[in-house]
Structure 1
């Protein structure tokens, strides 16, 4: 098998390269306090898309810093009993996608909450100076601010935890059976959600993004999804005089440093030929998870669909 990263035995022992800020735990406790102090002002608007089996709503809530976050919320029509729910997160710059993508879970009796990340391809706002779409550059947003509390992915990570809590508080949802899933950026947000909202019972993450930034840089893979790292250095630190400072600040929004907070069970899918989110960066997060976990390895696959993985995730969520 060709190798684009470390041999598997090394991956299984690898615990990351990117620095962890000394005040990391205080940073996130402060962030969570801000989130909990934010009035979500939840609004449910019936969607134009409806089916005999699914009742569909555009759900809006207010996240930290005043952004209105949009979620596609679908629940089994006519159900009166409390039932499980899945929160879903999409890839970088994308959106929650089509309503029809929720129907497999609806058929199994799950409610589904699919979030649009603020300022990307859906309807959620980026309140950082403009309303609406800012689409890209989210990793480096806030790097030059005086306060690391203004990193944009801090706010997005908090949105995931806030949404999970909203789902748990829905009258029809069993708060003890709320699960999270997504791929790439969605995989990172799944890890962040389960870390910041430890009541998440199960999490299924595919090839998570936003992990071990310095390792990405050292592998010369700051392109594709990570291209803005190279752009930042070229424009704002061309001689890398602040390199250690920059990677340390990125450590606040590095999911590997959050992963140890997870309490629920985790399944992660990884392709060992992934050059977008290198396997070592994914293992850096996986190896820090202390709760029950399982890794599904695809030796010949990269950052792409992993055959059978969607079925494995559904089975994982169905197991009591």
Structure 2
């Protein structure tokens, strides 16, 4: 097997190297206080897409700082009064995807909420000066401002707001609120369960946004992390602020939020992933203190992982 990172045993021992800011907990308590003060003003609009077995809606809600966030909401027409709800999160620059790919979960009697990340490829707003998408550069957005203005701070809070909306749906069984996604979606799955610990099960696949300094030291600030290299080249070409930059990125480094998770975790990692290196993912995984397991794909990178979606459904069903 080719080795692009630490040996597997060392991965299970790796604790991450990106610094954790001293005021990290106060930072996120302040953020959550802002979220609690944000009225979601939830709106449901019936979608043009409908099927015999599912009701489909465009759901809109307020995130922090005045952004209007969009999610696709599907609920089974015939299901128990209280049933599971699955939160889905998409990859970087993507969107919530097609309605049809969520129908397998609906067929099991589950409702689905799939969020468009603000400013990326869907309908959610990034209100940082303009309406519409901003698509790229989201990791570095806010690095030259107060840490409270980091864009991913707001995005992580959007996931928690979505979870809280789900918990207030009359059809939601609060003991069966689940979350899943890959890459950025895996990262947001972790963020959601960390900031709203009532998420009971989560299945992140090769999560992004973990251990930024490790990415840098592995010379993998490319692909999804390319903006880190671009930032230094354009705004700190001699790395005079390197320590400051990585410390500020620590506020949105998910390894430092992972110990807040209370739900059961099933994570998937490809050991030849050069987009989100395995060690960065284990930096978060190893800090999770709730019940957990990791599904290892030795010969796979940042790609389709055969069988993991089947295992995710079995995991949600309590069969795996």
Bucket of the pairwise TM-score, normalised by the shorter protein: over 0.9
What is the CA deviation profile of residues 116-138 of structure 1, one whole-angstrom value per residue up to 9, with x for unaligned ones? 00000000000111111000100
Q: Does 1:230 align with 2:229?
A: yes
Superposition pairs for residues 162-311 of structure 1, below 5 Å?
Answer: 162-311=161-310
User: Equivalent residue of 1:181, what SS?
Assistant: strand
2:147 counterpart residue number: 148
- Equivalent in the alignment of 1:44: 44
CA shift for structure 1 position 81: 1.1
CA offset at residue 9 of structure 1?
1.1
Q: Which residue of the partner structure matches residue 131 of structure 1?
A: 131
Q: How many angstroms does 1:77 deviate by?
A: 1.0
**Matched residue of 2:136: which SS?**
coil
What SS class does the counterpart of residue 296 from structure 1 fall into?
Answer: strand
The CA distance in 1 between the partners of 2:78 and 2:189, in whole Å, is 29
SS at match of 2:313: helix
CA distance in 1, matches of 2:245, 2:4: 26
Following TM superposition, by how much is the alpha carbon of 1:80 offset from its aligned partner in structure 2, in angstroms? 5.3
Q: Distance in 2 between matches of 1:193 and 1:274?
A: 23
Unaligned runs of 5+ in 1: none
Q: Does 1:109 align with 2:118?
A: no
Q: Quote the residue 1:63 is aligned against.
A: 63
1:85 maps onto 2:82 in alignment = no
CA contact (8 A) 2:207 2:281 kept: yes
Aligned partners of 1:272, 1:234: CA distance in 2, in Å?
A: 29
- State how far apart, in whole Å, the 2-side matches of 1:52 and 1:302 are: 38
Unaligned runs of 5+ in 2: none
1:13 aligns with 2:9: no
1:99 alignment partner in structure 2: 99
Measured against aligned partners, the alpha-carbon deviations of 1:138-197 in whole angstroms (never above 9, x if no partner) come to 00000000x100000000000000000100100011112100000000000000000000
| Post-superposition offset of 1:2 | 1.0
Contact residue 80 and residue 109 of structure 2 kept, 8 A? no
Distance 1:130 1:19 in 2: 32
CA positional deviation for 1:79 = 3.6
| Partner secondary structure for residue 114 of structure 1 | strand
Q: Distance in 2 between matches of 1:149 and 1:157?
A: 12
RMSD: 0.7
Aligned residues: 319
Q: SS at the partner of 1:133?
A: coil
Q: Describe the superposition over 1:90-131 as per-residue Cα deviations: whole angstroms up to 9, x where unpaired.
A: 000000000001101000000000000000000000011111
Distance in 2 separating the partners of 1:159 and 1:268: 22
Q: Under a length normalisation based on structure 1, what TM-score does the superposition of the two structures give?
A: 0.99
